[in-house]
Amino acid sequence: MKPSPPQMPGWSPDDDPPRTSRDTNPPSSRALRVFGPIAPRDTDTTAFTQILADLLDRVPGAVAAALVDSEGETVDYAGRGDPFDLRVAAAHLQLVLQGIARVGALGEPRWVVVRGQRKSVAATALPDGYALGLLLKPRAAFTISTRALKVCTRALAAEAGWNDLEKHDGVRQRSWFPVLVETDRRGRPAHVSSPGGGKTPVEVLGVVMGLSVRERGFRVRTAQGTELMLVREANQRWYADEPI
């Protein structure tokens, strides 16, 4: 479908085991005052709606997301707040990316992040002049999960028909794939599966060091002999560096 967009060591055996479910507390009254409730959509959903909603679920502190084209028109959006305000904010983020590109001294912009007192915004450049905009809580702006973004942009590219997404990134970055992981009593991976797929046992080969605070990483080998890196982020989401 073509759219009309530092660090600490990892796990130690004394760490608490990972949670088996995610917090589902309702938004605080302050969040409702700042970001507003979830307003009714003013456009029909598209194939991009669930991709954007999944991104919000994966990025702590993310409130809304929008996919905009090269003219600043919103292709689709998801999240909390007034839809009109979301579209205006996304259009302005696109203008910021384009303004940086016109200056030329920095080269093609990849990211732009602005932290405000009450809200923060971030934008990622995508192929064909599209951009992905995010509205976040103030302190969430500089802790956005690049793994979650990688999953999102790859899904957007597949739906939009974009090619050579890695080439557009400027450098070949590690790809990440969402996985489901069952752990043992020490919090180490025991079984892994892709969403909707069958699970396979894994053997832990070692612990990955140098990850961000509250992240855990493991080098594992599946029953089929494939070696993977598994990383559990602070929000209990697991990612693999190879598809399962």
Q: Where are the domains of the chain?
A: 29-168, 177-240
CATH number for the region 29-168 comes to 3.30.450.30
DSSP SS3 for 115: strand
Query: Whole-prediction pTM value?
Result: 0.78
Of 86, 181, 167, 169, nearest in space to 134 by CA: 86
The pLDDT value given to residue 232: 97
Inter-residue contact 223 to 201 (CB < 8 Å):
yes
Backbone CA torsion sign across 168, 171, 177, 178: negative
The residue-averaged pLDDT of 121-128 equals 90
CA distance 19 to 114: 32
CA distances from 98 to 19, 101, 168 (A): 42, 5, 15
Identify the pLDDT of residue 166.
Answer: 62
pLDDT of residue 168: 55
The tens digit of pLDDT for each residue in 156-201 reads: 999 999 886 665 554 455 789 999 999 999 999 999 999 888 899 9
Q: How confident is the model at residue 118 (pLDDT cuts 50, 70, 90)?
A: confident
Q: What is the mean pLDDT of the chain?
A: 82
